């Protein structure tokens, strides 16, 4: 039926119908692109949160390891200072 109407319509009406169909196609394409952009943006934000959480965990581990190493160094320094001095 649409083809019959399109065949019987004037060139102006056909152009208007074509423009409407084209605009609807562009709008659908834009909506699809926006949805994909939103998904990509959500994924980037999710990954950034994971990286930040991992960096915080790594920093906490590094701080703990540094504190342990500092305690060991203090113990060794104390032992060295308590040793008698060798007479040459």
Question: 70 is in which domain, residue-wise?
Answer: 7-81
- In a domain? residue 55: yes
User: Per-residue confidence of the chain (88 residues) as pLDDT tens digits?
Assistant: 455 555 555 666 666 666 666 666 777 888 889 999 999 999 999 999 999 999 999 999 999 999 999 999 999 999 988 888 766 5
What pLDDT is attached to residue 84? 83
- In a domain? residue 88: no
Asked whether the CA dihedral 75, 80, 83, 84 is positive or negative, the reply is negative
- In a domain? residue 14: yes
Number of structural domains (the chain) is 1
Please tell me whether the overall predicted TM-score, pTM, comes out greater than 0.75 for this model: no
Separation of alpha carbons 53 and 47, rounded Å: 10
- In a domain? residue 2: no
- In a domain? residue 1: no
What pLDDT is attached to residue 37? 92
Q: CA nearest 14: which of 28, 24, 23, 3?
A: 3
- In a domain? residue 56: yes
């Amino acid at each position: 039926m649409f083809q019959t109407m399109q065949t019987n319509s004037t060139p102006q009406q056909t152009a208007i119908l074509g423009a409407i169909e084209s605009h609807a196609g562009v709008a659908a394409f834009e909506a699809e692109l926006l949805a994909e952009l939103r998904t990509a943006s959500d994924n980037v934000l999710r990954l950034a949160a994971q990286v930040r959480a991992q960096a915080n965990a790594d920093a906490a581990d590094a701080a703990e390891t540094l504190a342990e190493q500092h305690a060991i160094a203090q113990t060794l320094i104390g032992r060295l200072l308590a040793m008698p001095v060798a007479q040459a």
